[in-house]
Amino acid sequence: MGAVRKRARDAGAMTETADAPFLGVASSVRGFAWRERLPSDRRATALAISQRHGISDLMGRVLAARNVALDDVPVFLDPTVKALMPDPSTVRDMDKAAERLADAIVARTPVAVFGDYDVDGASASALLARFLAHHDTPARIYIPDRIFEGYGPNAAAIETLVKEGAKLIVTVDCGTTSFDALASAKKFATDVIVVDHHQADERLPDVYAVVNPNRQDDVSGLGDLCAAGVVFMVLVATTRVLRGRGHYKGAREPNLLGELDIVALATVADVVPLKGLNRAYVTKGLAVMRERGNVGLTALTDTAGLTQPPTPYHLGFILGPRINAGGRIGDAALGARLLSAEDALDAQRIAETLDRLNKERKQIEAGMLEEAIAAADRQVTDDPDRVMIVVGAETWHKGIVGLVASRLVERFGRPACVIAWEGNSGTGSLRSIAGVDLGAVVRAAVAAGLLVKGGGHAMAAGLTVSRDAFAPLQAFLKTEMSSAGTIVRAAPSLDIDAAIVASGATTELMALLEKAGPYGQGNPQPRFVLPAHRVRFAKEVGEAHLRVMLEGGDGARIDAIAFRAKGQPLGDALLAAGGMPLHVAGHLKRDTWGGRDRVELTIEDVADPRKCQPSP
């Protein structure tokens, strides 16, 4: 099987031919074909990376498989904002926005910050508010209530902010499609700056400036940034304007790099691609977070019980959900208030409230998910080729639909839309899979008159639909998505970076892999296979997880865990192995519990070697 098998210098890595299934696995326990991630036309680049930069063959393969160019390796392994951020002026309307913000700061006129209620919106709002506070400029954060106001600016809120004294309104993580609401600001002669990242049509709101790298006439190439990432560039540009005006003579400039912990949180939580500038934001932001300078993040970290240096996992799965909990089932402004807090006691109180709300959110989600899975099972059983799962109920909570949609995508491997109905109106969240651009589909549905409103980006979107339009909407979604959905599901596969043996899974290897991080959307975590390793034991731990011990042919062992595997084909295979060898696929992680530092495997899939395709 495969003509090429080569041992990497540091981990016993082996490679496979590009055309054959990796290790002959055409259909794993979970129904995946295993494929080599590194395409054949990148193998020469992998070797050149290894030789020129003095790194292992395995690391050369990992970098080449992520399309890292030969000359870009040093910057990729040490991403910095200075090296990866272009001139902010390359973003359309950036200079206009920076000049107007600088005017407000010099005159110290009140500014209202209108944000979204998710992590990105809270982070973007806090970034701008902290910047204005540094310059002693009055600022007011306004986060709409998810249940009663919905997403984005509304005319009533705009009028309230103006009556409170706002002379400039800045919308962050929203506003690109809020034509009517933002038009109301003109009646009050109040300037509006939109700072957003959501997909846009040719038409834009009639406001002072629209800073959005995803507007169709923007050529900056920064469309992968989250809103907080765009706000950070606005702050860089505004600082430059103020510096040019001599504003900082005798005054302290803001430490913008010290705010990257907030940008990193938003970047990971909003699941934008971890490429280019985003990697620098997260890498340097995690370093800032370790300094514990932001009292809000520190309080939330301590409340969540985190005692180890933060990682992207902690941002996405520990801290992010807690901040989101306020917008989902509580006070939508809590997250922004936490991240912009300066008083430790106030921050601690907010963090504890968010932690409690997150526990309540989990309980609500569990009940909704059970009902949603049952409904989705019926849809898939009736129509195995269904391109998208669409479920809804009157009793479901608007703030939880996005989380349930994500779980359905994980379980069924296809895009999902979950709708909370209230009378004649439904509020829905959509989550996608790689290769299916949901944002474009939702914008097309808006243009077709099938939605009250809707928007988003490739992997996530939201909508509001009337019951009368629901049937036509479903037909529209089926037509728009059938081609891409069929292609993606036709050959479900798992990308494999290399095969290693248990003895090669060392802390030294982890140190090398960590340099190629942070991993996430757009920079996938390396996935390895331990071929023909025996399952020495497997037992249930926690909530349906399995703790596993794997042993290689040389007797070397490695601890492993399979999350939420009990009762699933993966868990059944592990429990039934009885010491027999399995090909085991997953990713490596450090285990630092109790002060130790060792490597363990998170199991994602297994295959029986006896059922694999023979070597050609």
Of 36, 28, 34, the residue nearest 611 (C-alpha): 28
Residue 290, classified by CB atoms within 10 Å of its CB into exposed (0-12), middle (13-18) or buried (19+), is exposed
Interior/surface letters 358-385, b for 16+ CB within 10 angstroms, e for the rest: beebeebbeebbeebbebbeeebeeeee
Task: Work out the number of other CB atoms within 10 angstroms of the CB of residue 219.
Answer: 10
The Cα 607–Cα 218 span in angstroms is 47
Residues 6+ apart with CB under 8 A from 369: 404, 407
Number of H helices, E strands in the chain: 21, 18
What per-residue confidence (pLDDT) applies to 386? 86
pLDDT at 426: 94
d(CA 139, CA 154): 19
CB 546 within 8 A of CB 574: yes
For the entire predicted model, the pTM comes to 0.86
Could you give phi then psi for residue 466, rounded to 5 degrees?
-90, 155
The predicted pLDDT at position 1 comes to 30
- CATH class name, domain 86-356: alpha beta
What's the fold here for domain 22-37+497-611? OB fold (Dihydrolipoamide Acetyltransferase, E2P) (2.40.50)
Cα-based distances in Å from 583 to 155, 555, 574, 576, 578: 59, 16, 11, 14, 14
- Which of 260, 129, 264, 113 has the alpha carbon at shortest distance from 174? 113
CATH topology of 86-356 equal to that of 383-493?
no
Indicate the domain borders of the chain. 22-37+497-611, 86-356, 383-493
Architecture per CATH, 383-493: Roll (3.10)
Residues 21, 483: contact at Cβ < 8 Å? no
Please give the angle made by the CA atoms of 309, 282 and 434, to the nearest 5 degrees: 115
Query: Quick one: which of 309, 306, 254, 262 has its CA closest to 281?
Result: 262
pLDDT for position 428:
93
Residue 173's nearest CA partner among 231, 255, 247, 116 is 116
Helix axes 43-53, 57-65, angle to 10 degrees: 130
Contact (Cβ atoms closer than 8 angstroms) between residue 538 and residue 546: yes
Mean pLDDT per segment of 10 residues, for the chain of length 616 residues? 31 49 94 94 95 94 95 95 97 98 97 95 98 97 87 92 96 94 91 96 95 97 97 98 96 96 97 94 97 97 93 93 90 95 97 96 93 94 89 93 92 91 93 86 92 87 93 89 59 88 94 91 93 94 92 95 92 92 95 78 96 71
Q: ∠539-531-545 over CA atoms, to 5°? A: 20
157 vs 498: CA distance, rounded Å: 54
Give the pLDDT score at 411.
86
pLDDT for the residue 18: 46
Cα–Cα dist 352/336, whole Å: 15
Range list of H helices, 516-595? 569-576
